[in-house]
Amino acid sequence: MERILARSIAVMCVVFGAQGIPFALMQVPVTVPLWSWGTIVLLYGGFVATAALGLLGRSVGLVGRLVPIVYLAALMTWPLAVRSQDALGHDTPWLWYVCNLVLAVAAVAYSRPVATALLVAVPAFYALIRTTAVGGGVSLGDAALGSLYVLLLGGGVLILVTLLRRAATEVDGAQNAAVERYASAVREHAIEVERLQVDSIVHDSVLTSLLSAWRAETPRQRVLATVMATNTMAQLDESIGQAPSAGPATLSSLRERLLLVAEQMDVELRYDPGSLPATEIPVDAAESIHSATVQALVNSFQHAGGPEVPRWIALYARAGGILVEVGDEGAGFDLDTMTEGRLGVRVSIQARLRNAGGEADVQSSPGLGTVISLAWPA
Protein backbone atom coordinates (compact mmCIF):
# COMPACT_ATOMS: atom_id res chain seq x y z
CA MET A 1 0.00 0.00 0.00
CA GLU A 2 2.79 2.47 0.82
CA ARG A 3 4.28 1.80 -2.60
CA ILE A 4 0.95 2.62 -4.27
CA LEU A 5 0.62 5.83 -2.26
CA ALA A 6 4.19 6.85 -3.11
CA ARG A 7 3.56 6.36 -6.83
CA SER A 8 0.30 8.30 -6.64
CA ILE A 9 2.09 11.21 -4.99
CA ALA A 10 4.78 10.98 -7.67
CA VAL A 11 2.19 11.49 -10.39
CA MET A 12 0.67 14.41 -8.48
CA CYS A 13 4.08 16.04 -8.08
CA VAL A 14 4.65 15.86 -11.83
CA VAL A 15 1.18 17.07 -12.87
CA PHE A 16 0.26 19.64 -10.21
CA GLY A 17 3.83 20.72 -9.56
CA ALA A 18 4.26 21.68 -13.22
CA GLN A 19 1.24 23.95 -13.24
CA GLY A 20 2.75 26.18 -10.54
CA ILE A 21 6.05 26.80 -12.32
CA PRO A 22 4.79 29.59 -14.68
CA PHE A 23 3.25 31.54 -11.77
CA ALA A 24 6.42 31.16 -9.70
CA LEU A 25 8.57 32.48 -12.55
CA MET A 26 6.19 35.40 -13.25
CA GLN A 27 6.43 36.60 -9.64
CA VAL A 28 10.22 36.42 -9.42
CA PRO A 29 10.56 40.14 -10.34
CA VAL A 30 8.31 41.26 -7.47
CA THR A 31 10.12 39.21 -4.80
CA VAL A 32 13.63 39.14 -3.41
CA PRO A 33 15.73 37.09 -5.90
CA LEU A 34 17.57 35.10 -3.25
CA TRP A 35 14.31 34.13 -1.58
CA SER A 36 12.57 33.41 -4.89
CA TRP A 37 15.20 31.17 -6.43
CA GLY A 38 16.05 29.52 -3.11
CA THR A 39 12.39 28.66 -2.48
CA ILE A 40 11.84 27.45 -6.06
CA VAL A 41 14.96 25.24 -5.96
CA LEU A 42 14.22 23.77 -2.54
CA LEU A 43 10.48 23.27 -3.06
CA TYR A 44 10.60 21.95 -6.62
CA GLY A 45 13.72 19.96 -5.83
CA GLY A 46 11.65 18.26 -3.13
CA PHE A 47 8.85 17.62 -5.63
CA VAL A 48 11.28 16.10 -8.13
CA ALA A 49 12.94 13.90 -5.49
CA THR A 50 9.54 12.79 -4.16
CA ALA A 51 8.38 11.95 -7.68
CA ALA A 52 11.56 10.00 -8.39
CA LEU A 53 11.29 7.95 -5.19
CA GLY A 54 7.61 7.30 -5.78
CA LEU A 55 8.07 6.17 -9.38
CA LEU A 56 10.78 3.79 -8.18
CA GLY A 57 8.28 2.32 -5.73
CA ARG A 58 10.16 3.51 -2.64
CA SER A 59 8.96 5.40 0.39
CA VAL A 60 9.08 9.20 0.09
CA GLY A 61 10.79 9.17 3.49
CA LEU A 62 12.79 12.19 4.60
CA VAL A 63 12.33 14.09 1.34
CA GLY A 64 8.55 13.98 1.69
CA ARG A 65 8.81 15.34 5.24
CA LEU A 66 11.03 18.25 4.15
CA VAL A 67 8.62 19.49 1.45
CA PRO A 68 5.88 20.72 3.87
CA ILE A 69 8.53 22.30 6.12
CA VAL A 70 10.04 24.25 3.19
CA TYR A 71 6.58 25.29 2.05
CA LEU A 72 5.46 26.44 5.50
CA ALA A 73 8.70 28.42 5.93
CA ALA A 74 8.16 30.07 2.53
CA LEU A 75 4.56 30.92 3.42
CA MET A 76 5.56 32.49 6.73
CA THR A 77 8.37 34.54 5.15
CA TRP A 78 6.30 35.66 2.16
CA PRO A 79 5.67 39.19 3.61
CA LEU A 80 9.45 39.68 3.89
CA ALA A 81 10.09 38.38 0.36
CA VAL A 82 7.82 40.83 -1.52
CA ARG A 83 9.73 43.96 -2.65
CA SER A 84 6.99 46.46 -1.75
CA GLN A 85 3.46 46.58 -0.36
CA ASP A 86 1.82 47.04 -3.74
CA ALA A 87 4.29 45.03 -5.83
CA LEU A 88 1.96 42.01 -6.09
CA GLY A 89 -1.23 44.04 -6.60
CA HIS A 90 -4.30 41.80 -6.44
CA ASP A 91 -2.56 38.72 -7.82
CA THR A 92 -2.52 35.46 -5.91
CA PRO A 93 0.85 34.38 -4.42
CA TRP A 94 2.27 31.52 -6.48
CA LEU A 95 2.50 29.36 -3.37
CA TRP A 96 -1.28 28.94 -3.63
CA TYR A 97 -0.98 26.79 -6.75
CA VAL A 98 1.02 24.04 -4.97
CA CYS A 99 -0.74 24.26 -1.61
CA ASN A 100 -2.87 21.13 -2.05
CA LEU A 101 0.10 19.23 -3.47
CA VAL A 102 2.12 20.00 -0.36
CA LEU A 103 -0.71 18.81 1.89
CA ALA A 104 -0.99 15.60 -0.14
CA VAL A 105 2.74 14.95 0.31
CA ALA A 106 2.34 15.63 4.04
CA ALA A 107 -0.56 13.15 4.27
CA VAL A 108 1.67 10.39 2.89
CA ALA A 109 4.99 11.34 4.52
CA TYR A 110 3.78 12.18 8.04
CA SER A 111 1.67 10.41 10.62
CA ARG A 112 -1.99 11.31 10.83
CA PRO A 113 -1.68 13.73 13.79
CA VAL A 114 1.17 15.69 12.18
CA ALA A 115 -0.57 15.75 8.79
CA THR A 116 -3.75 17.00 10.50
CA ALA A 117 -1.82 19.79 12.21
CA LEU A 118 -0.34 20.86 8.86
CA LEU A 119 -3.81 20.68 7.31
CA VAL A 120 -4.97 23.30 9.82
CA ALA A 121 -1.84 25.45 9.90
CA VAL A 122 -1.26 25.90 6.15
CA PRO A 123 -4.77 27.26 5.26
CA ALA A 124 -4.70 29.47 8.36
CA PHE A 125 -1.37 31.09 7.38
CA TYR A 126 -2.53 31.42 3.79
CA ALA A 127 -5.73 33.22 4.81
CA LEU A 128 -3.75 35.55 7.05
CA ILE A 129 -1.30 36.45 4.27
CA ARG A 130 -4.06 36.96 1.67
CA THR A 131 -5.64 39.68 3.80
CA THR A 132 -2.40 41.69 3.85
CA ALA A 133 -1.26 44.07 1.11
CA VAL A 134 1.72 41.86 0.17
CA GLY A 135 -0.63 38.90 -0.23
CA GLY A 136 -3.16 40.56 -2.51
CA GLY A 137 -5.17 42.52 0.01
CA VAL A 138 -8.41 40.54 -0.42
CA SER A 139 -11.29 40.65 1.99
CA LEU A 140 -11.50 38.32 4.96
CA GLY A 141 -14.39 36.45 3.33
CA ASP A 142 -12.45 35.79 0.11
CA ALA A 143 -9.40 34.71 2.11
CA ALA A 144 -11.55 32.37 4.22
CA LEU A 145 -13.15 30.93 1.09
CA GLY A 146 -9.75 30.16 -0.43
CA SER A 147 -8.58 28.60 2.84
CA LEU A 148 -11.74 26.48 3.00
CA TYR A 149 -11.03 25.21 -0.50
CA VAL A 150 -7.52 24.19 0.55
CA LEU A 151 -8.86 22.64 3.75
CA LEU A 152 -11.48 20.54 1.95
CA LEU A 153 -9.15 19.20 -0.74
CA GLY A 154 -6.30 18.56 1.68
CA GLY A 155 -8.69 16.95 4.15
CA GLY A 156 -10.12 14.72 1.42
CA VAL A 157 -6.64 13.49 0.52
CA LEU A 158 -5.79 12.89 4.18
CA ILE A 159 -9.02 10.93 4.76
CA LEU A 160 -8.40 8.82 1.66
CA VAL A 161 -4.82 8.05 2.70
CA THR A 162 -5.98 7.15 6.23
CA LEU A 163 -8.70 4.82 4.95
CA LEU A 164 -6.34 3.08 2.55
CA ARG A 165 -3.74 2.56 5.26
CA ARG A 166 -6.35 1.26 7.66
CA ALA A 167 -7.68 -1.16 5.07
CA ALA A 168 -4.13 -2.33 4.30
CA THR A 169 -3.46 -2.85 8.01
CA GLU A 170 -6.63 -4.92 8.37
CA VAL A 171 -5.73 -7.01 5.34
CA ASP A 172 -2.22 -7.58 6.69
CA GLY A 173 -3.65 -8.54 10.06
CA ALA A 174 -6.08 -10.98 8.47
CA GLN A 175 -3.28 -12.45 6.36
CA ASN A 176 -1.00 -12.87 9.37
CA ALA A 177 -3.84 -14.49 11.31
CA ALA A 178 -4.50 -16.84 8.39
CA VAL A 179 -0.81 -17.75 8.18
CA GLU A 180 -0.74 -18.39 11.92
CA ARG A 181 -3.83 -20.59 11.69
CA TYR A 182 -2.28 -22.47 8.79
CA ALA A 183 0.97 -22.96 10.69
CA SER A 184 -0.99 -24.19 13.70
CA ALA A 185 -2.94 -26.59 11.50
CA VAL A 186 0.30 -27.87 9.98
CA ARG A 187 1.77 -28.44 13.44
CA GLU A 188 -1.36 -30.26 14.58
CA HIS A 189 -1.32 -32.36 11.41
CA ALA A 190 2.33 -33.25 11.96
CA ILE A 191 1.57 -34.26 15.55
CA GLU A 192 -1.38 -36.34 14.38
CA VAL A 193 0.71 -38.04 11.68
CA GLU A 194 3.41 -38.84 14.23
CA ARG A 195 0.81 -40.19 16.65
CA LEU A 196 -0.72 -42.39 13.96
CA GLN A 197 2.76 -43.60 12.99
CA VAL A 198 3.54 -44.62 16.56
CA ASP A 199 0.10 -46.19 16.96
CA SER A 200 0.67 -48.17 13.77
CA ILE A 201 4.06 -49.40 14.98
CA VAL A 202 2.70 -50.36 18.38
CA HIS A 203 -0.43 -52.03 17.02
CA ASP A 204 1.20 -53.76 14.09
CA SER A 205 4.90 -54.37 14.64
CA VAL A 206 5.21 -54.43 18.44
CA LEU A 207 2.23 -56.69 19.07
CA THR A 208 3.20 -58.99 16.20
CA SER A 209 6.77 -59.22 17.50
CA LEU A 210 5.56 -60.04 21.03
CA LEU A 211 3.16 -62.70 19.75
CA SER A 212 5.89 -64.22 17.55
CA ALA A 213 8.31 -64.32 20.47
CA TRP A 214 5.65 -65.92 22.69
CA ARG A 215 4.88 -68.59 20.11
CA ALA A 216 8.53 -69.23 19.08
CA GLU A 217 9.43 -72.85 19.75
CA THR A 218 11.82 -73.86 16.95
CA PRO A 219 15.17 -72.19 16.15
CA ARG A 220 13.75 -70.75 12.90
CA GLN A 221 10.82 -69.24 14.77
CA ARG A 222 13.19 -67.67 17.28
CA VAL A 223 15.29 -66.20 14.46
CA LEU A 224 12.13 -64.79 12.88
CA ALA A 225 11.04 -63.27 16.20
CA THR A 226 14.51 -61.75 16.61
CA VAL A 227 14.41 -60.15 13.16
CA MET A 228 10.94 -58.77 13.80
CA ALA A 229 11.98 -57.36 17.17
CA THR A 230 15.09 -55.72 15.68
CA ASN A 231 13.07 -54.12 12.90
CA THR A 232 10.45 -52.93 15.39
CA MET A 233 13.07 -51.34 17.66
CA ALA A 234 14.57 -49.54 14.65
CA GLN A 235 11.11 -48.18 13.77
CA LEU A 236 10.54 -46.99 17.34
CA ASP A 237 13.95 -45.31 17.46
CA GLU A 238 13.20 -43.55 14.20
CA SER A 239 9.77 -42.40 15.39
CA ILE A 240 11.10 -40.72 18.55
CA GLY A 241 14.25 -39.31 16.93
CA GLN A 242 14.71 -36.84 14.14
CA ALA A 243 12.72 -37.11 10.92
CA PRO A 244 14.34 -39.15 8.16
CA SER A 245 16.58 -37.23 5.87
CA ALA A 246 15.17 -36.08 2.56
CA GLY A 247 18.49 -36.81 0.85
CA PRO A 248 19.17 -39.79 -1.42
CA ALA A 249 20.12 -43.35 -0.47
CA THR A 250 21.86 -45.73 -2.87
CA LEU A 251 20.38 -49.02 -3.90
CA SER A 252 23.61 -50.67 -2.88
CA SER A 253 22.99 -49.66 0.75
CA LEU A 254 19.42 -50.96 0.53
CA ARG A 255 20.78 -54.19 -0.97
CA GLU A 256 23.10 -54.65 2.02
CA ARG A 257 20.20 -54.23 4.43
CA LEU A 258 18.03 -56.67 2.50
CA LEU A 259 20.95 -59.11 2.27
CA LEU A 260 21.16 -59.08 6.08
CA VAL A 261 17.43 -59.78 6.32
CA ALA A 262 17.74 -62.61 3.78
CA GLU A 263 20.60 -64.19 5.73
CA GLN A 264 18.74 -63.97 9.03
CA MET A 265 15.56 -65.45 7.56
CA ASP A 266 17.40 -67.92 5.31
CA VAL A 267 15.81 -66.78 2.05
CA GLU A 268 17.33 -66.18 -1.38
CA LEU A 269 18.23 -62.62 -2.46
CA ARG A 270 18.30 -62.11 -6.23
CA TYR A 271 19.83 -58.97 -7.76
CA ASP A 272 22.03 -57.68 -10.57
CA PRO A 273 25.14 -56.17 -8.93
CA GLY A 274 26.02 -54.06 -11.96
CA SER A 275 22.76 -52.10 -11.99
CA LEU A 276 22.49 -51.09 -8.32
CA PRO A 277 25.33 -48.85 -7.07
CA ALA A 278 24.64 -45.83 -9.32
CA THR A 279 20.89 -45.69 -8.61
CA GLU A 280 19.63 -43.43 -5.80
CA ILE A 281 16.24 -43.10 -4.07
CA PRO A 282 15.03 -40.96 -1.12
CA VAL A 283 15.83 -42.22 2.35
CA ASP A 284 12.18 -42.40 3.42
CA ALA A 285 11.41 -44.52 0.35
CA ALA A 286 14.30 -46.87 1.18
CA GLU A 287 13.06 -47.18 4.78
CA SER A 288 9.52 -47.94 3.62
CA ILE A 289 10.72 -50.60 1.15
CA HIS A 290 12.92 -52.24 3.80
CA SER A 291 10.13 -52.31 6.40
CA ALA A 292 7.55 -53.55 3.89
CA THR A 293 9.96 -56.30 2.75
CA VAL A 294 10.44 -57.54 6.31
CA GLN A 295 6.68 -57.47 6.90
CA ALA A 296 6.05 -59.41 3.69
CA LEU A 297 8.52 -62.10 4.78
CA VAL A 298 6.94 -62.23 8.24
CA ASN A 299 3.53 -62.75 6.65
CA SER A 300 4.99 -65.50 4.46
CA PHE A 301 6.48 -67.39 7.41
CA GLN A 302 3.24 -67.01 9.36
CA HIS A 303 0.79 -68.02 6.65
CA ALA A 304 2.53 -69.62 3.64
CA GLY A 305 3.98 -72.67 5.32
CA GLY A 306 7.08 -74.00 7.04
CA PRO A 307 10.78 -73.69 6.18
CA GLU A 308 10.43 -76.12 3.30
CA VAL A 309 8.51 -73.50 1.27
CA PRO A 310 10.83 -71.72 -1.20
CA ARG A 311 11.03 -67.96 -0.55
CA TRP A 312 13.01 -65.20 -2.21
CA ILE A 313 13.67 -61.48 -2.45
CA ALA A 314 14.39 -59.98 -5.87
CA LEU A 315 15.89 -56.49 -6.21
CA TYR A 316 15.73 -54.66 -9.55
CA ALA A 317 16.72 -51.16 -10.58
CA ARG A 318 14.31 -49.52 -12.97
CA ALA A 319 14.08 -46.10 -14.62
CA GLY A 320 14.26 -43.53 -11.82
CA GLY A 321 13.52 -46.00 -9.04
CA ILE A 322 13.50 -49.56 -7.73
CA LEU A 323 11.38 -52.71 -7.75
CA VAL A 324 11.56 -55.30 -4.95
CA GLU A 325 9.69 -58.58 -5.20
CA VAL A 326 9.05 -60.76 -2.17
CA GLY A 327 7.68 -64.14 -3.13
CA ASP A 328 7.01 -67.66 -1.96
CA GLU A 329 5.56 -70.90 -3.34
CA GLY A 330 3.45 -71.56 -0.31
CA ALA A 331 -0.23 -71.78 0.53
CA GLY A 332 -1.27 -68.45 -0.97
CA PHE A 333 -4.68 -66.90 -0.40
CA ASP A 334 -7.68 -65.52 -2.26
CA LEU A 335 -7.34 -61.77 -2.75
CA ASP A 336 -11.11 -61.37 -3.09
CA THR A 337 -11.69 -62.80 0.38
CA MET A 338 -8.86 -60.91 2.12
CA THR A 339 -10.43 -59.26 5.18
CA GLU A 340 -10.05 -55.65 6.22
CA GLY A 341 -8.28 -56.84 9.35
CA ARG A 342 -5.19 -57.97 7.43
CA LEU A 343 -3.11 -55.06 8.75
CA GLY A 344 0.14 -56.73 7.71
CA VAL A 345 -0.77 -56.33 4.03
CA ARG A 346 -2.96 -53.22 4.06
CA VAL A 347 -1.09 -51.04 6.58
CA SER A 348 2.46 -52.33 6.93
CA ILE A 349 2.93 -52.95 3.21
CA GLN A 350 0.46 -51.15 0.92
CA ALA A 351 -0.20 -48.02 3.03
CA ARG A 352 3.48 -47.70 3.96
CA LEU A 353 4.59 -47.72 0.31
CA ARG A 354 1.78 -45.39 -0.72
CA ASN A 355 2.77 -42.82 1.94
CA ALA A 356 6.35 -42.87 0.62
CA GLY A 357 5.24 -42.28 -2.97
CA GLY A 358 5.47 -45.91 -4.00
CA GLU A 359 3.07 -48.75 -4.74
CA ALA A 360 2.63 -52.30 -3.47
CA ASP A 361 1.01 -54.93 -5.68
CA VAL A 362 -0.06 -58.28 -4.23
CA GLN A 363 -0.51 -61.33 -6.46
CA SER A 364 -1.63 -64.56 -4.79
CA SER A 365 -3.72 -67.66 -5.47
CA PRO A 366 -4.58 -70.53 -3.13
CA GLY A 367 -1.97 -73.24 -3.49
CA LEU A 368 0.18 -71.25 -5.94
CA GLY A 369 2.06 -68.95 -3.59
CA THR A 370 2.29 -65.18 -3.25
CA VAL A 371 4.34 -62.45 -4.91
CA ILE A 372 4.37 -58.93 -3.47
CA SER A 373 5.88 -56.26 -5.71
CA LEU A 374 7.18 -53.11 -4.00
CA ALA A 375 7.78 -50.34 -6.55
CA TRP A 376 9.11 -46.82 -6.11
CA PRO A 377 8.04 -44.45 -7.53
CA ALA A 378 4.47 -45.53 -8.12
Is 211 part of any domain? no
Tell me the pLDDT tens digit for each residue of 266-325. 888 888 766 666 677 888 888 888 888 888 888 888 888 877 889 999 988 887 788 899
Mean pLDDT for the chain overall: 82
Pick the more confident residue, 240 or 6: 6
Which of 116, 150, 176 corresponds to the end of one domain? 176
Is 144 part of any domain? yes
Greatest mean pLDDT among 85-89, 159-163, 226-230: 159-163
Poorest-confidence range of 32-36, 155-159, 273-277? 273-277
Same domain? For 148 and 51 the reply is yes
> With 60 as the cut, is the pLDDT of residue 226 above it?
yes
Is 235 part of any domain? no
Per-residue model confidence (pLDDT) at position 373: 92
Range of the domain at 314: 246-376
Mean pLDDT of 106-131: 89
Is 35 part of any domain? yes
Which residues are within 8 A (CB) of 18 and not within 5 positions of it... i.e. 6 or more apart? none
What strands lie across the sheet with 268-271, from one edge to the other?
268-271, 311-318, 321-328, 369-376, 359-365
Greatest mean pLDDT among 204-213, 234-243, 246-255, 256-265: 256-265
Mean pLDDT of 87-115: 86
Same domain? For 7 and 150 the reply is yes
| Residues 105, 146: Cα–Cα separation, whole Å | 20
**Domains contained in the chain, number:** 2
Which residues are within 8 A (CB) of 231 and not within 5 positions of it... i.e. 6 or more apart? 205, 291, 294
Tell me the pLDDT tens digit for each residue of 36-46. 999 999 999 98
Pick the more confident residue, 61 or 290: 290
Same domain? For 25 and 162 the reply is yes
Same domain? For 172 and 250 the reply is no
Which of 114, 147, 176 corresponds to the end of one domain? 176
| Residues 313, 372: Cα–Cα separation, whole Å | 10
Is 223 part of any domain? no
CATH number of the domain residue 282 falls in: 3.30.565.10
Q: Is 267 left (phi over 0), alpha (psi -120 to 50) or beta?
A: beta
Per-residue model confidence (pLDDT) at position 328: 92
Same domain? For 164 and 257 the reply is no
Same domain? For 167 and 256 the reply is no
Same domain? For 167 and 255 the reply is no
Per-residue model confidence (pLDDT) at position 338: 66
Same domain? For 254 and 167 the reply is no
Which of 176, 201, 226 corresponds to the end of one domain? 176
